[in-house]
Chain A
């Protein structure tokens, strides 16, 4: 036979089942779009770093070595370890504070500080390297040339504005002065370069390092290693352990793994990537189930037609071809539309990723489109062929009989049991219906479960993310912040009038910056705060910077004067500090320094070394997680003149933050700025994204229900006709159909609660890990009892929403048309 009859058979099937074809198309559109979005985001969130790391022979581990403890020969021997495939160094290194042009000003300001941009730079790690290339950490020159003689420096692009802390305009030719060392040597920027792992803030010739080192600072060097196995944190740790085992104890005070750098660089989008991957995979699984069910069901519903086709001469192969094509046609259209929609949805998100990585633009990799399209079409084809093959194997008469004969044998017990219940008969018939088709019921159960789980996960994730955002900004506990700008004495109603409240009493003109808040001023401010009825807590805060071995760049240190346990930092592990010399640090700090809770680290503050013990891991991403929180006395031991720059205030419930800020600012007078702490850091955008994805999945689940119920009502049209003939009203028909899925929805919804909670507890820490931080346990306890009770209905809502349309159609069918004798 020519292809013509097969095509006619296919077209006829499509024409007869337009609604089913439309459902297949829409399901494929939604599933394809979700899969493209999820996969593309996951792939692109990792690709830039991985490609650059491989091309530049990035260092798996960057080690800081105590030059006094390990000899060059010992270090050279580490190159020959079986775990090491390549090594570079030792390169002499020094921590240096640079200032442009030698101007004085604020010390170590961070962006946002009024002093920022006024001409001072943060402390950074300078490394002495004769050339940018080497077996490990090939540094790529972006502009200029490598340092060739003393007095020249190549700066890291990570330090240059706007990526780092260097002020605008710092570039080739900029003169920098190294402060804190004898002779205040000058350096001229001759090049800007990039190390994929950010191994240094700048590079000079090896002989330049010694003069740049502060007098009492120990001599240290940098070793760079690539390991035979470095695909995981455990593998990198094993490699590092092999190296340190061959060196004297304490010779390697700090090691940085490339994995922490990769995670840090991907922090803009990687936290969401696991979520997107999970949703993408869920979308794939759901779409697979729905497609299999719809396509398979469509073929089964057409058994009678298949039998007729065979009876007039179609071969089994032609039947299979016709029905596979009948499914593939709308599927291909839906898939094509889904690719377009997925690419459109991915564009804004990938744009963000491109900004983070500085790679220009990112798009959906072509192979993602091709892979998703191929996977979807294969799925549809397999489902259609598998079902059609069954029919193809039957004889024509058997196929016709199978299409006409009512199904029997299942669900009888359910009908009997439910028939005894004191509920309207249409409802009990509906509730019993799922038991007659267990495989179809199982499919709907799984699909609704996935959709409801997505909803519950999203609600929980929204709660956790809210905790994250408010935990980072402390906006829920420190509702008002009062910044000290130097003070001009008292204002019109200032309580400090005439009491030496400000150090520049009577000054006029612009406010001098950087004036310390003395003890008298602090007493005045505290009195003003206590006088406000809305004040619940308050604490003075000093913001300083310290340095530590193995950490490139300064470490912001927040020191609180007084009780600060109420400030609201999320505790991941450990405890809040209880005395001097104890500090809290974020997870990334621990990863970079290789320290753990209970370890001691020496920081340098005000030129003095201070050993501090890490007692707690907090949830904080200030300075990308390289920060520290401690009590006043920890820093005051090295700087008796330590000064507060801010007061943090917690308000009584019901107090308006804006009103409180206005009142306290008026009370304090000039020199103080009181502001409401409200920083949601893009939370609405993220919540919108995950909410959209959850709706997408819930919608897909609803589509799955719709397509199945449509199939069932068409199969049971005859039975529906009988019900109508004996007096079932259209409304009762709708109730019957809706009840046939409501029970499934309720069961699925109840099962989705533990599934959603488990998914949140699994996913949130993974997302946190992707951002280089842990997750406080309290951030995962986000479901209230009432909330869960409502969420349990998610399954019912999805199921009922999916069933309403086909139920309405079934109720509209003319009774006589479905009862016409054959």
Chain B
């Protein structure tokens, strides 16, 4: 069921629509401009994502996909509008608040992995847990579990520079999940991988979503989107041009 933009002012103000009970991400009239008089990268977008959904965000280069993801992750601030994730309004948070928010609620997987080359695989995965103040025992236990579940436990003492692309992305996924985030965000997670490896990673992400992890992934690969996401949002020039799939709760602007 889609929300009309004027039908529910309260819902628009809070970012929650009729699926308010399950909405884990809510954007209301969010705009992002990088320069004062330039075209907005994201233009008055409103959408909700319910808990447990797998959403693929697609669009041509420059359509605002990565910007949208960064806004949800708190890596950037909107010029206008509100962003609510896991019940927290993040568009007005301080940098410190955003950092703490990301630790607790967000797991990010990047196209080029963004691993720290001078830390071992295990240390890379541990890092968010250590920053969040988890005890050493708990953090190491969680790390071990994740590495095992992703079948890279033997690489714990290896350095990212010596791993294959697929292995690195598994490490990145493990790092993203170490604090059991509410939302897993993936920005072109298979963009730097070959087809076979990409399918492996896609399958991993799908498996995580199947076990209840909310997933938002940005991709320009239609096959990946349809194979692993139940809902596909298409962006064009900063607007949502289409939003197909079940339980959308999204607003379409043309």
Contact = CB atoms under 8 A, between A and B. Distances in A.
A binds B: yes
Contact of B103 (A415, A419, A726): A726
A732 interface: yes
A406 interface: yes
B20 interface: no
A419 B108 CA distance: 23
A821 B76 contact: no
Contacts of A724: 75, 99
B240 to A, nearest CB: 20
Contacts of A721: 114
A414 to B, nearest CB: 9
A536 B191 CA distance: 90
A408 B118 contact: yes
Nearest to B157: A416
Interface stretch (B22-30, B43-51, B128-136): B128-136
B127 interface: yes
A412 B159 contact: yes
Contact of A727 (B66, B99, B159): B99
A656 interface: no
B75 A725 contact: yes
Given A408-B161, A725-B102, A727-B102, A821 B118 contact: no
A730 interface: yes
A814 interface: yes
Interface string A459-487: 00000000000000000000000000000
A409 B161 CA distance: 9
Contacts of B128: 726-727
B103 A725 contact: no
B70 interface: yes
A722 B131 CA distance: 13
Contact of B99 (A410, A718, A730, A814): A730
Contacts of B117: 406-408
Nearest to A721: B114
A715 to B, nearest CB: 13
Contacts of A409: 161
What's the dominant secondary structure at chain A's contact region?
helix
Contact of B127 (A406, A408, A425): A425
Closest CB pairs A-B (n = 5): A727-B103, A425-B130, A729-B99, A816-B76, A816-B75
Contacts of B108: 725-726
B137 to A, nearest CB: 12
B118 A412 contact: yes
Given A425-B131, A722-B114, A416 B120 contact: yes
16 contacts: A408-B117, A408-B118, A412-B118, A412-B120, A425-B130, A432-B118, A721-B114, A722-B115, A722-B116, A723-B116, A726-B102, A726-B127, A726-B175, A730-B95, A816-B70, A816-B75
Contacts of B187: 821
B211 interface: no
B131 A728 contact: yes
Nearest to A435: B118
Nearest to A727: B103
Interface centre among B76, B100, B175, B187 (most CB of A within 10 A): B76
Contacts, number: 89
B119 interface: yes
Interface in B126-155: 127-128, 130-132, 136
A411 interface: yes
Contacts of A416: 120, 123
A815 interface: yes
A200 B111 CA distance: 91
B35 interface: no
B116 A719 contact: yes
B96 A731 contact: yes
Interface string A802-822: 000000000110111001110
Contacts of B75: 724-725, 814-816, 819
Interface of B: 66, 70, 73, 75-76, 95-96, 99-100, 102-104, 108, 110-112, 114-120, 123, 127-128, 130-132, 136, 159, 161, 175, 179, 187-188
Given A727-B128, A815-B75, A816-B75, A411 B118 contact: yes
Given A426-B131, A727-B128, A819-B110, 16 more contacts: A408-B118, A412-B120, A415-B119, A415-B123, A425-B130, A727-B102, A727-B132, A727-B179, A729-B95, A729-B99, A811-B95, A812-B95, A814-B76, A820-B66, A821-B111, A821-B187
Given A722-B114, A819-B110, A732 B123 contact: no
A436 interface: yes
B76 A815 contact: yes
Contacts of A819: 75, 110, 114
Contacts of A422: 136
A719 B113 CA distance: 12
Contact of B100 (A436, A718, A729, A820): A729
Nearest to B69: A816
Interface centre among A432, A728, A730, A816 (most CB of B within 10 A): A816
A415 B136 CA distance: 16
Contact of B123 (A410, A419, A725, A730): A419
A599 to B, nearest CB: 70
Given A415-B118, A419-B119, A728 B76 contact: no
A276 B75 CA distance: 53
Contacts of A811: 95
Given A415-B118, A816-B70, A726 B131 contact: yes
A407 B104 CA distance: 30
A410 B99 CA distance: 29
Contact of B112 (A426, A436, A821): A821
Interface centre among A409, A425, A726 (most CB of B within 10 A): A726
B246 to A, nearest CB: 30
Contacts of A426: 131
Interface string A701-736: 000000000000000001101111111111110000
Nearest to A422: B136
A412 B161 CA distance: 12
Contacts of B118: 408, 410-412, 415, 432, 436
B35 to A, nearest CB: 13
A808 to B, nearest CB: 12
A412 to B, nearest CB: 6
A419 B76 CA distance: 30
B146 to A, nearest CB: 14
A429 to B, nearest CB: 8
Contact of A732 (B102, B131, B136, B159): B131
Interface centre among B104, B130, B179 (most CB of A within 10 A): B130
B99 A728 contact: yes
Nearest to A425: B130
A579 B99 CA distance: 82
